[in-house]
Structure 1
Amino acid sequence: MKKLYFGYINTFRGLSPEIWWLALITLINRAGTMVIPFLSLYLTTDLNLSLGQVGWVMSAFGLGSVCGSWLGGKLTDKIGYYKVMVRSLLGTGILFIGLQFLHTFASISFGIFLVMLVADMFRPAMFVALSAYSKAENKTRSVTLIRLAINLGFSAGPAIGGIIIVTMSYAGLFWIDGISCILATILLMNVLHPKKAKTQDDIVNTNPESAYKDKSYFIFLAAMTMFGIVFLQYFSTMPIYYKEIHHLSELDIGILLGLNGAFIFLLEMPLIKWLESTRYSKPALMIIGAILVGISFLVLNITPWMGILVIGMLFMTVGEMITFPFSNAFAMERAKKGNQGEYMALYSIAFSIAHIFGHNAGMHMADALGFENTWYIMSLLAVICMAFLWLLIRYMKKDEATN
């Protein structure tokens, strides 16, 4: 047990203090965004929107995310990651508090769009900051630590969120979301100011290549969009499936979603450290992750037994643990040859596009075709994701052979 403990601790060695601060800021911010997993339930139960309307609201969510990611990338290359992160966090906090006062379909759609526009400016800036504060050999583990912080917050957030809904109603979630973003801003301004922080990988590229001319990168982005569409069902369509088909309460759903974060907290860093030592390339490891996420939907159709929900969540979690850190690291590696903000913005936009189509398509398919058929379709999309990643491997080998 002692050997296992020290082995786990050793996987965190060598990361810079700035990465740890960035992880803590992310933890505070993510723990507060507990309204996101409950958004589809809030829209259907408190605002009485139909599944179709919820799908369109979630599309507004994704469209705001696309615009925010693009704008964040542009501003990061222009004014720097620090200013973008501060303004994004503070603005998000204020907007989250205001979101609770919107009650019509049109106003909530616009409000969600605006929140995500400001919130997702943070993502490309954070990735560039992460790259700057981390040594080249530690980048995948640095990404994993940030994800660990995200999921540690996410494991506590839904469980706490479920309790808040039961005791205070949904309004309490918006206040906590907003306040947590403001607290994260204050911490960021005190510990990660450029004059205080030590840059470990200051990439200077006098002749940067445009990300829009990188064909391999666009194949990768297509794969990540497909993966995002499938993965995001767990945060919109899946909670409704849990409630309507398996009759789980909001607290039960929060605990089940919290298992995802708990598994990641315990297993992701050792798993990534071990996978880094294997002979598999990053795209090959992403294929394995996509396979597991696809299986997580298939198993739900096997049996009505309640325990299958935990098994499905476990498959999805392991697939997520593999795909996201290595896709992040792959994107940061490609970004070294061009404008970093532009590259990381496109990476964020891939998932933002998944937000636009994934939630909406999932809601409409569940409404028209039923959950069982929807899960089969999601498994098929996971296969398409694998095909894109296989194509990426082939294209990169061909590209290397000609250069």
Structure 2
Amino acid sequence: MRRWLASNAGGLPGTFWYLWTGMLITRAGGFVVLFLSLYLTADRGAPPSLAGLLIGAYGVGGMAGSLVSGVLTDRWGRRRTLITAYLAMVATLLALAFTTALPAIGALIGVLGLVQSMPGPALIAAMVDVVPEADRPRAFNLEYWALNLGTAIASFLAGQLAEASYTALFVVDAAATAVALALVLWKVPETFRPAPRSAHGGLRRVLADRHFLAFTGLTLLFAVVVTQAPTIMPIAMAQDGLGPSAYGRVMALGALLIIAGQLFVPALIAGRPKHRVLALATALTALGYGALAFAGHLWFYLLAAIGWTAGQMLAAPPNAQINAELAPPALRGRYQSVFYLTFPAAAFLAPAAGGFTLEHLGDAHWLIAGALGLAAAGLHLLAGPRRERYLSAMRARPEPDTVRL
């Protein structure tokens, strides 16, 4: 057991573990995003289509926040960006806890999307800064494991809190964020010093990298399918007569499976072409969500969760690894920010379109989601070999140390 733990977690820098711990804390207290749709429909009386649009504001804010974070991460540094984001998150969550009017809630949800998307690019850029390249697959696997350990904790606790008080969800989320902020202030140094003079393209260069944009586009399709779980699935489960605690069990099962099995994934996929692993992962995820067209009982949702969770487990390490490989060191923050756009974009597209299709097409919504994922799986098989040739050529070229916006 000691040898197995050492092979997965041994030898990583202390700063990585402080960043990892902060991520775990914020995810374990990250109740709000999991239950926004239920909060809006059950507690505030919004119909599914309006709830989808209001939650879509989270995605719109997140897209802006991701880009802002990328620029700040490369210009301010990773630490200052994290501190600013966590402070803003605490203030926004507390404001949401005590706001009742739907228009004001919608505006604050947009702000929440902006500030909650800011830590991601800074965290990953800092991890890439401090972790040697050979150890990054393990580090990314541990990062994904921590995210899901936190989700399991949040899903279990939030289901109980939501049935007692939705206000408590916002307050506890804010408290967890404050703890992560204190950890960064105490233990995380700056991992990157921007050069005083800059060159070589900034965001323009990122947006001109067609291999990176193709990979990001496929990640967006995957994210739209995965984002069904926190946005549309709780509404569908409520229509099937299942309450918040049942939804919490489904989310917790997926997270627990990842906790139990994620550390075995690197050995399982070692040496296999990353694009084939991603194609298989995306197909499994698509089939899991597509199967919900036939769901009606809790046991079916739990079985489907096993399928899509297996896909997400396989996808996490190669996704992060490809993203790190494509990003030049001086542009890591910007590359991470554009990559992270996929998640707030999916957080907008999934509920905005999904609320409409679920309301008007019923269970066919899940067949559409499954077909979208299967299309992305096929495209991974087409795009992967070309991207690998591009990466081989890029490694042979020297890379400058400075950037500009």
> Could you tell me the TM-score, scaled by structure 1's length?
0.91
**Please, which moves more after superposition, 64-73 or 203-212?**
203-212
Q: Does the C-alpha gap of structure 1 residues 402 and 24 become closer, same or farther in structure 2, counting only changes over 3 Å?
A: closer
Counterpart among 149, 169, 174 of residue 170 in structure 2: 174
The one-letter code sitting in structure 1 at the alignment partner of 2:15 is E
Partners of 2:86 and 2:287 lie apart in 1 by 36
Equivalent residues in 2 for 1:215-364 (5 A)? 215-245=210-240, 247-275=241-269, 277-278=270-271, 280-302=272-294, 304=296, 306-336=298-328, 339-364=331-356
Partner of 1:367: 359
Shift of 1:398: 6.3
Counterpart among 131, 155, 159 of residue 158 in structure 1: 155
Shift of 1:136: 0.4
Runs of 4+ aligned structure 1 residues displaced above 4 Å come to 201-209, 302-305, 397-403
Give 5+ residue unaligned stretches, structure 2. 395-405
Shift of 1:206: 8.0
Shift of 1:18: 1.5
Q: Does the C-alpha gap of structure 1 residues 259 and 208 become closer, same or farther in structure 2, counting only changes over 3 Å?
A: farther
Q: Deviations over 1:188-244 (max 9, x none)?
A: 1111123xxxx6x99999865621121111111110111111110011111122222
Partners of 2:319 and 2:163 lie apart in 1 by 37
Shift of 1:303: 5.9
Partners of 1:381 and 1:312 lie apart in 2 by 17
Partners of 1:401 and 1:332 lie apart in 2 by 14
**Please, which moves more after superposition, 99-108 or 393-402?**
393-402
Q: Note if 1:393 corresponds to 2:384.
A: yes
Identical aligned residues as a percent: 23
Partner of 2:402: none
Give 5+ residue unaligned stretches, structure 1. none
Shift of 1:249: 2.1
Whether the 8 Å contact between 2:325 and 2:391 is mirrored in structure 1 is no
Shift of 1:305: 5.2
Whether the 8 Å contact between 2:70 and 2:337 is mirrored in structure 1 is yes
Q: Does the C-alpha gap of structure 1 residues 188 and 400 become closer, same or farther in structure 2, counting only changes over 3 Å?
A: closer
Q: Deviations over 1:71-111 (max 9, x none)?
A: 00011111101100011012101210111222223211110
Q: Note if 1:86 corresponds to 2:83.
A: yes
Q: Does the C-alpha gap of structure 1 residues 350 and 335 become closer, same or farther in structure 2, counting only changes over 3 Å?
A: same
Partners of 1:354 and 1:327 lie apart in 2 by 16
Partners of 1:304 and 1:171 lie apart in 2 by 30
Shift of 1:399: 4.6
The one-letter code sitting in structure 2 at the alignment partner of 1:381 is L
> Could you tell me the TM-score, scaled by structure 2's length?
0.90
Q: Note if 1:383 corresponds to 2:374.
A: yes
Whether the 8 Å contact between 1:57 and 1:109 is mirrored in structure 2 is yes
The one-letter code sitting in structure 1 at the alignment partner of 2:287 is I
Whether the 8 Å contact between 1:28 and 1:181 is mirrored in structure 2 is yes
Coordinate RMSD, CA, aligned? 2.3
Partners of 1:161 and 1:402 lie apart in 2 by 48
Q: Does the C-alpha gap of structure 1 residues 402 and 345 become closer, same or farther in structure 2, counting only changes over 3 Å?
A: closer
